[in-house]
Structure 1
């Protein structure tokens, strides 16, 4: 499997069926726009920095709501959650996506704004890789993101939706989240990584992508 980061919450996943999650247009955030082609585009919610489908190339299907979907060799499960701690009263509902491909289970939680409930944890089940926002303000902050890590117990955590150089969005940087982990559990993997299920660590690691 290959995972490539396109900035903010946008990731490209897979080598057969190409999945792109939460594309942005770059310009609205002060960062580079994604250059990406997809078979499937997953939208966690319709805010400007997560649903710029127009930047994605290819003949793709858009999924933007809860449910179960079979796309080629990939199983996708959309699970409802909220953009805030008030059950969506401030910022609305989002859809988290659990993706199963090549024996690997990934969970992208979009702009999750709260600690996961027991019902959501039951619906998610076991996962190998967690994509979580850590920048606070509009999502969970570093502390609440770490609480979700402890609940989900993934093998790999991929932080996203945090302040980077040039970004105009007023959110927090990565460092507060990284501080919860020992140095030997943090890996800088570059812009993309190729791996198999057997390559995944036994104990939770943080994979930091660079763009």
Structure 2
């Protein structure tokens, strides 16, 4: 059985493999609920990259959380999450319900609220490497192209932001893809903008470009 990746909109994904269900940055705004109205399956693990509202959204997490669910989030998400959760710093890893999770760096180097004040400073948030059923998924979080992308190892699918403003734009996401060399890449955090330049930017590489609409899924097969 393959590993299925479903885009729930914005930077939110559902990963399913056998009986395991993982969510990345689960966000359920009114607009996204209209596009993906389904009742979501209970979570084995919920991964949160940082505390911004469109990534750490307690209402949505509570809808999929039960007594067995493990939530992993940066410590400052404790201001929003009123229950115990796990936290991993970049470079740290652990196994939750047989799902291997490692936190990696995610930060801005060229996008700033004001001079010297990045939207996502180094150490504020994380990305995640998740290994499930032998497949490795890289969820980049909100990030620019950063040197640490050179050290991620073998990636089956990379989930990369490309909407600009707070993260990489299309051309930078293509640059990141060439650095990471995943077997497949899925755009996210697009702000409903065109992703054509992202696709064009990796033409001729061995990476498969997978464009999903909200609610659509992609299966990693053996």
Q: Which has the higher contact order (CA 8 A, sep 6+)?
A: 2
Give the secondary-structure state (helix, strand or coil) at the position aligned to 2:29: coil
| Structure 1 stretch displaced more, 180-189 or 126-135 | 180-189
2:200 to 171, 179, 184: 179
The answer to whether the Cα contact below 8 Å between 1:3 and 1:193 also exists between their aligned partners in 2 is yes
Give, in angstroms, the shift of residue 179 of structure 1.
Answer: 2.6
Please, which runs of 5 or more residues in structure 1 have no aligned partner? Answer: 165-171, 199-211
Structure 1 runs (4+) deviating above 6 angstroms are none
Deviation by residue 1:98-140 (Cα, 9 ceiling, x = unmatched): 001111111000111x2120x4522x22211100001111100
- State whether structure 2 residue 5 is matched by structure 1 residue 6: no
- State whether structure 2 residue 149 is matched by structure 1 residue 158: no
Distance (Å, rounded) in 2 between the aligned partners of 1:7 and 1:86: 23
1:143 to 168, 171, 179: 171
The answer to whether the Cα contact below 8 Å between 1:25 and 1:55 also exists between their aligned partners in 2 is yes
Distance (Å, rounded) in 1 between the aligned partners of 2:97 and 2:170: 35
Deviation by residue 1:54-88 (Cα, 9 ceiling, x = unmatched): 21323222111322120122100001221443798
TM-score by length of 1: 0.77
Root mean square deviation of aligned Cα: 2.5
TM-score by length of 2: 0.74
Count residues in correspondence. 185
The answer to whether the Cα contact below 8 Å between 1:17 and 1:71 also exists between their aligned partners in 2 is no
Give, in angstroms, the shift of residue 177 of structure 1.
Answer: 1.5
Please, which runs of 5 or more residues in structure 2 have no aligned partner? Answer: 75-88
Question: Measured at CA, do residues 189 and 174 of structure 1 come closer, stay the same or move farther in structure 2, by a change above 3 Å?
Answer: closer
Pairing 1:57-136 to 2, within 5 Å after superposition: 57-59=64-66, 60-65=69-74, 66=89, 67-85=92-110, 89-91=117-119, 92=121, 93-112=124-143, 114-117=144-147, 119-122=148-151, 124-136=152-164
The answer to whether the Cα contact below 8 Å between 2:5 and 2:13 also exists between their aligned partners in 1 is yes
